[in-house]
A and B are shown apart, each in its own frame.
Chain A
Amino acid sequence: MNKKTIRVAYIGLLSAFAIIISYIEMLLPIDLGIPGVKPGLANFVIVIALYEFGIKDAFLINFIRIFVVGMMFGNLFSIIFSIAGAIISLGIMALIKSIKGISIIGVSIAGGVAHNIGQLIIAAFVVNTYSIAYYVPVLIVAGIITGGLVGIPSSALRSIMHKMLSEN
């Protein structure tokens, strides 16, 4: 098989995986105590994709996920809002990833925080208010928790994947 076919297959597989995770997250009544804050479990797939296939494919997978989930359960507003958050989050994750000595957990946490702060900044533009500064500390802490929740299994899965690949 050529490389292009493998890449397309992986993007399809991981996109489907991310969509399913997003859907399961919707079904589970996960309440983090803050309205509007979700664990963002699909970021699990995005972080793995970022490490294994690079930023371009990770963005593509996330875009497909947001578009499909948005079309099925959301609206245009939620799609635009999610894409903006995804761009900011992925950009920051790629930046943090380039720093030596930071593991996938740190990258995931940075992504979680960047996603929250990014969406807050966009919200500030939409409603034109500074008063949402009050949410910043809450969203940073929420980002650390959700980023950590996603980062730990990502780290574990990656080491299992590499072990399996080296055994073959």
Chain B
Amino acid sequence: MEAVFIKKRDFILIFMLLIAAAVSYGIWYFGDAGERECVVVSVDKEQYAKYSLLEDGTYTIDIDGEYNIVKISSGYVSVTDASCPDKICVHEKAINKGGQSIICLPNKMVVTIVKNTDNDEIDGVVK
């Protein structure tokens, strides 16, 4: 058996995957990205709260004994602390564009930046 090293079809595969990455980036960029002003927090598939991206603030998301602390500061959203074991959500970079989200899987919590589609009162806690 000859020394197997990278073959032509491997490059074709890599190229196809890169195209898929570019296409999915395009879908996000021309779809959700752009000016957005609303931060939606959902817990276990239900909307928990809605905040304005334009107003700074720190909010504690209380999830049956577990918690995530969401901070909104000059248009950026981040999770500053959480009770989950892996802390992946805390290590996520701050988000500032539409369609971006920070997810905490153990707590089933999602913070997403969205367009304010309906006339819901911002800052109103829906729970």
Contact surface of A with B, Cβ cutoff 8 Å: 35-36, 75, 77-78, 81, 96, 99-106, 109-110, 113, 123, 126-129, 131-134, 136-137, 140-141, 143-144, 152, 155-156, 158-159, 162-163, 166
A139→B20 CA distance, assembly (Å):
11
Known contacts A102-B7, A126-B105; A131/B17 CB under 8 A: no
- Known pairs A109-B10, A127-B105, A129-B112; A103 contacts B22 (CB<8 A): no
B91 with A35: CB separation less than 8 A: yes
Q: Is the interface of B mostly helix, strand, loop or mixed?
A: mixed
- B104 CB to nearest A CB, Å: 9
Task: Report whether A132 and B10 are in contact in the complex, using a CB–CB cutoff of 8 Å.
Answer: no
94-111 of chain B: CB within 8 A of chain A: 99-101, 103, 105-106, 108-110
Do A103 and B4 have beta carbons less than 8 Å apart? yes
Residues of B within 8 A of A (CB): 1-10, 13-14, 17-18, 20-22, 24-25, 27-28, 32, 42, 45, 85-86, 88-89, 91-93, 99-101, 103, 105-106, 108-110, 112, 114
Question: Within the assembled complex, what's the spacing in Å between the Cα atoms of A123 and B106?
Answer: 10
Assess whether B9 is in contact with A101, with CB atoms less than 8 Å apart: yes
Q: Tell me which residues across on chain B come within 8 A of A152, comparing CB atoms.
A: 6
A75:B7 contact, CB within 8 angstroms:
no
Query: Nearest chain-A residue to B43 (Cβ)?
Result: A127
Complex contact A159–B1 (CB within 8 A): yes
Minimum CB–CB distance for A30 against chain B, Å:
14
